[in-house]
Homo-oligomer: A and B are copies of this chain.
Amino acid sequence: MTVITRTLTVETRGNCHVIDITQDVTRELDSSGLSNGIVTVFIAGSTAGVTTIEYEDGLINDFKNAWERNIPRDIPYQHDKRWGDGNGYSHVRASMQGPSLTIPFANKKLVLGTWQQIVIVDFDNRSRSRKIVIQFLGE
């Protein structure tokens, strides 16, 4: 059993920008030489999240619209009054979504469904350079 830690930097546009990183994680798994274990995908920062989704444009828009309905940007946030960043809604969404995802792999393959992609979601209100940690524990 060993630990292999990789990092990925992704340029995002913010505003619920959803980015498919499945191929990045798969490539790192291939190069790790590991056969069985888990990969943890973690995004550093408090205005972004990690999940899986069927990555197609219609659904990506549905996902954005759902966040807009449930955690609207155009209502008052105390965070904005104190800090003036205007991204209070981004923080709340990120904390509800969560920054971490753990996926098993077996026989050198991630156990994802066919239409299930690993994505990061940038909830911030501006473009960002995001650091993603992709860490494997396995053998």
A-side interface residues toward B, CB under 8 Å? 1-3, 5, 36-38, 40, 42, 44-46, 51-54, 56-59, 61-63, 66, 70-71, 77-83, 88, 91-92, 94-104, 106, 111-113, 115-117, 133, 135, 137-139
If A37-B3, A92-B66 touch, whether A82 touches B98 (CB-CB below 8 Å) is no
Contacts of A1 in B (CB 8 A): 1-3, 137
Closest to A47 in B: B54
Q: Is the interface of A mostly helix, strand, loop or mixed?
A: mixed
Cα–Cα distance between A61 and B133 once the two chains are bound (Å): 29
Residue pair A116, B45 in contact (C-beta under 8 Å): yes
Cα–Cα distance between A99 and B79 once the two chains are bound (Å): 25
